[in-house]
Amino acid sequence: MRVLLIEDNPQLCATIRQHLTGEGFVVDVVQDGASGEALGYDPLYALAILDLGLPGYSGLQILANWRRARNPLPVIILTARNSWKERVAGIDAGADDYLGKPFHLEELTSRLRALLRRSHTKTQQGHLHVGPLTLDESRRQVFLGPDQTISLSAMEFKLLRCLLLHQQQVLSKETLYMHLYAEDAEPDLAIIETHVMRLRKKIGEEWIRTLRGQGYQLHVPEPGP
């Protein structure tokens, strides 16, 4: 999943980006408010992490503009820990969650995952699930019923999470590439076919439907007799 980070502290940006990348996210960093607001309208992003203390063009203004334009992008705001008025203003402006600085990166990751689950799909004990399939994000394992546990590679995990978070959508190869890779170079779309093939071998061919000329869609197979 692709995350937009709007924060003017270069060191904090680098730290958050490195950590979330290790957790399987693709992170785009913007350090000025105007560019951050513009990117936030791109439906490619699953979530934004927004610092309210941006100089000049404030994070609160960005958030208010997004919500005024009915932009549904889920937002976690970053605030000074002792600035309760700023936190209240952010929530009132339409933020979905907040985190006070300084914070533990593990808490940011946990809140991010929880917000994505609330925004996109059903949850079950903190896991993503559909039908008999459950994805444990922390262990990067798939459970197919009570007796089958499957371990995933980093890319298989990212691909399945993306499909689970967009259960009703058909995702093109281009869209999947942008969610799986941070590189800005011309996408190598053939690699998506490879990842899909490998994931199918692990969870079953019937779970991922191919729509010719459109892309891929998660499909819950009919239960056997």
Model pLDDT for residues 126-171, shown as the tens digit of each residue:
578 888 888 888 778 899 877 789 989 988 998 999 898 888 789 9
Tokens of 53: 């203390």
Catalogue the long-range contacts made by 109-115 (C-beta closer than 8 Å, 24 or more residues apart): 109/19, 109/20, 109/23, 111/76, 112/3, 112/20, 112/25, 112/47, 112/49, 112/76, 113/137, 115/47, 115/74, 115/76
Which residue ranges in the chain fall short of pLDDT 70?
81-82, 120-126, 183-187, 223-225
pLDDT at residue 175, as a whole number = 87
Indicate the DSSP class of residue 171: B
In angstroms, the CA 142 to CA 20 distance is 21
pLDDT at residue 200, as a whole number: 94
- Classified as helix, coil or strand, 157 is helix
Q: Tell the CATH topology of 2-120.
A: Rossmann fold (3.40.50)
pTM over 0.75: no
The pLDDT value given to residue 120: 62
Strand pairing class (123-124; 127-130): antiparallel
Ramachandran bin of 204, using left for φ above 0, alpha for ψ from -120 to 50, beta for the remaining angles:
left
Where in the chain are the domains?
2-120, 123-218
CATH number of 123-218: 1.10.10.10
Please, where are the H alpha helices in 121-189?
Answer: 154-165, 173-180
What's the pLDDT at 185?
Answer: 59
What φ, ψ does residue 222 adopt, rounded to 5°? -70, 140
What type of residue sits at position 61? Answer: Q
